[in-house]
Structure 1
Amino acid sequence: MNTTGTTGRAERESRRWGPRGTAGATFAGLLAFENVSKQFGKTEVVRDVSFSLAPGEIACLLGPSGCGKTTLLRIAAGIEKPDRGRVLFDGQEMAGPNRFVPPEKRNIGLMFQDFALFPHLSILENVAFGLKNLPRAEARTIAGHALERVGLAHHAADYPHHLSGGEQQRVALARALVPRPQVMLMDEPFSGLDQRLRESVRAETLTLLRETRASCLLVTHDPVEAMGLADRIFLMRQGRLVQSGTPEQIYRQPADAAVARFFSDANELAGPVTGGRVETPLGGFPVPAGFHGREALVLIRPQGLKPGGAGTDGLVVEARFQGDDVKCSVLFKGVDERLTALVHAREAPQRGQTARFEIDPEHVFVFEKPVSPPIS
């Protein structure tokens, strides 16, 4: 019996997808945006954005709806052309004043919010769709390995409408990864899933991306999702890149009050600045270096208000049990609005109780108070 052809094909499959149960690695690419801008009509949706995605890095484009993040992803994919600036893969211009490479010529994987599976093709045929340059039998074998890796080999002969939303998402991920893209682009891939399913599918996706080692740029509006997935976050607002860094850097060192609010609820106080400190009814706080304003805005995250210590007395007017934590609404003397404290259930005061609260400086942020516009 001649096994040479079979052995050679198996070796090629292993190199492409990896041994059973493991996604094969690819050569990750470097994706760079250089002063990219894009305008639709009179609206500039992306404004002079520059950043780079390192080989093998998983990064999130994060921001509210309409901030330009999806447009940037479409520019990277070649679906949109930038009006100004350049997009480069491994130093080669993909889009810019001198060159435009169409999407099918770029070594990228695309995964969209609606999964975009072909309803008339079986699950196996959907995954094999991107392997048209291979013999049909070889493509189907590689697709089968990919389905095995995402735990759906038993659905190979089924059609998309037979699968749940989470299963369809895993099929779409397998289809995007089998051609071994250097860069993976994902647009809100988990938003259509319910909360419990979303967490498990995100974890599986992260494992697969780490195994394949493809560079990945993922669009999301969910800061919790971004912090759980990304090596780096690129935070967008009104078409501009406002801050980039690791999840911990952005969470602990927000560039402005809007960034701090985006990542967490916050209590807000204001006060005059004297001698390098801002004075509030809850005490004084140092202002950052280079502070020039006469008044400061102080943001305190709910988890930064802790019962006990040499703090300030407050009346607990509401206490809502939330499992491990209790969400308390607290009135402090000299503060017009109730402040929110998120307290561990074992330490939480009761509603109607006067309790002392101290402030954890790790959850306090001081910014210059914005000047109110003149009344016309």
Structure 2
Amino acid sequence: MSVSHTMWSGGREAGRWGQRGTAGATFGGLLTFELVGKRFGKTDAVLDVTFSLAPGEIVCLLGPSGCGKTTLLRLAAGIEKPDSGRVLLDEREVAGPNRFVPPERRNIGLMFQDFALFPHLSILDNVAFGLKSLPRADAMTIARHALERVGLPHYAASFPHHLSGGEQQRVALARALVPRPQVMLMDEPFSGLDQRLRESVRAETLTLLRETRASCLLVTHDPVEAMGLADRIFLMRQGRMVQAGTPEQLYRQPIDASAARFFSDTNEVAGLVMEGRVETPLGAFVLPKGFNAAEALVLIRPQGLRHAPDGSGLEGLVIESRFQGDDVKCSVLFKGIEDPLTALIDARRAPSRGGTAFFSIDPSHVFVFEKPLLAANP
């Protein structure tokens, strides 16, 4: 059953979005960054960033706080000017050495983390704010239609402080989309919502973005959110883009240990390179192509440690077992490894705490990198 036909739990947050397929469509824009840099004082907030956001594509800028994600959004919107490089919209320069187009002339929508609704304006006037070039009657008609699409037409005469956080988020989304921007920029739009509500709003927002066909660049620090929303993910670190690709590519083929750690918890075991393989207390693992270091760091995701009830594999002592619903999180001690490793096991097959059990290792959840990368910042 789709989210739009279910009721959200949680008092004021309960409510339906409007009928799907009724949002006004636009022509998605091609947003391009060419070697863009931005400094604040002596700090490079963004350094030599190059990418293209295709028309109608949804891309997530993913990374920890302070890595340059929001700065890129502000550069795209025209709130900041780049110190180097160019920003183009549909191959037309909007920011660069010889040209700067102000925000209001870029046909780019921006949705802030705190929603930034005007407290002195009604909900209807908030949504219609970006339609000042239209006759007021036309603007009000479009704004009412947008409120209907996000399921809040009955709040048209209310003010932002009358609405819950989830409702304010929906109003902010409607306001950003009514001018039909070619590119939609969203800065951590779901971070202020509780987990259960976040999933519902996120799903409906994705549907609405697909309906409008606008290109979307969304900032998040949550890898689960990025994988659930994005056509592609751009992984940021210290002002640079370190990896770009589909969610599956970044999850299954992380470029380095820091990227692997960012997408999930990992068990980390040091090993020695011998005859084209890395030898560890857990066994030998295949080296990636071009590996030329003498020591290696092996990362194993918890779900890669599989319980082997038939007695095959590695024997370990289960020192802790925590039920988590569908899964059980086990801490396991293996011979030759000082610290326990974490295994995520199907709750129906999980071993008991305090006993020994056997485990196999799924190679699709194993990554081998050069050992010095252990000290790299995420």
SS of the residue corresponding to residue 313 of structure 2 reads: strand
CA distance in 1, matches of 2:257, 2:232: 20
Return the alpha-carbon distance in structure 2 between the equivalents of residues 140 and 76 of structure 1: 29
Greater Rg over alpha carbons, structure = 1
Q: Deviations over 1:36-85 (max 9, x none)?
A: 01101011111100000000000000100000111011000000010000
Cα-to-partner distance string for 1:147-193 (whole Å, 9 max, x where unaligned): 00000011111111111100000000000000000000000111111
Partner of 1:76: 76
- Report if aligned partners of 1:326, 1:343 keep a CA contact under 8 Å in 2: yes
How far apart in 2 are the matches of 1:301 and 1:188?
27
Partner of residue 179, structure 1 = 179
Which residue of 1 is the match for residue 15 of structure 2? none
Partner of 1:228: 228
Does the 8 Å contact 2:304/2:365 carry over to 1?
Answer: yes
| Structure 2 counterparts to residues 190-229 of structure 1, below 5 A | 190-229=190-229
Name the structure 1 match of 2:344: 342
Whether the 8 Å CA contact 1:20–1:145 is kept in 2: the answer is no
Q: Which runs of 5+ in 2 are unaligned?
A: 1-17
CA RMSD in angstroms comes to 1.4
Q: Secondary structure at the residue paired with 1:370? A: helix
**1:145 counterpart residue number:** 145
Q: Which amino acid aligns with 2:85?
A: G
Counterpart of 1:86? 86
Instruction: Give the 5 Å matches for 1:315-334.
Output: 315-334=317-336
Alpha-carbon distance in 2 for matches of 1:312, 1:71: 48
Query: In the alignment, which residue of structure 1 is the partner of 2:14?
Result: none
**Alpha-carbon distance in structure 2 between the residues aligned to 1:322 and 1:23:** 39
SS in 1 for 2:372: coil
Partner Cα separation in structure 2 for residue 33 and residue 21 of structure 1: 32
Q: Secondary structure at the match of 1:193?
A: coil
Deviation sequence 1:289-317 (CA, Å, 0-9, x none): 10000111000000000010631000000
* Aligned position for 1:167: 167
Please state whether the residue corresponding to 2:124 is helix, strand or coil. Answer: helix
1:132 aligned partner:
132
Q: Is the 8 A contact 2:257 2:373 kept in 1?
A: no
Distance 1:198 1:232 in 2: 21
Distance in 1, Cα, partners of 2:21 & 2:38: 42
Whole-Å separation in 2 of the counterparts to 1:121 and 1:47: 39
Aligned match of 1:242: 242
- What residue in structure 2 maps to residue 41 of structure 1? 41
Q: Percent identity?
A: 81
Counterpart amino acid of residue 312 in structure 1: L
Partner of residue 370, structure 1: 372
For residue 296 of structure 2, give the secondary structure of its aligned residue in structure 1.
strand
Structure 1 CA distance for aligned equivalents of residues 172 and 206 of structure 2: 14
Report the CA distance between 1:203 and its aligned residue: 0.7
Aligned to 2:285: 285
Q: Following the alignment from structure 1 to structure 2, what is the Cα–Cα distance between the partners of residues 181 and 281?
A: 56
Q: 1:355 aligns with which of 350, 354, 357?
A: 357
- Quick check: 1:330–1:339 contact (8 Å CA) kept in 2? yes
Report the Cα offset of residue 274 of structure 1: 1.1
Q: What's the TM-score once normalised by structure 1's chain length?
A: 0.93
The whole-number CA distance in structure 2 between the counterparts of 1:243 and 1:45 is: 17
- TM superposition shift of 1:353: 1.1
Unaligned runs of 5+ in 1: 1-17
Letter in 2 for 1:338: P
Distance 1:21 1:162 in 2: 28
- Work out the CA distance in 2 between the residues paired with 1:239 and 1:159: 38
8 Å contact kept, 1:20–1:148? no
Counterpart CA distance in 2 for 1:234 and 1:63 is 8
Aligned residues: 356
Structure 1 runs (4+) deviating above 6 angstroms are none
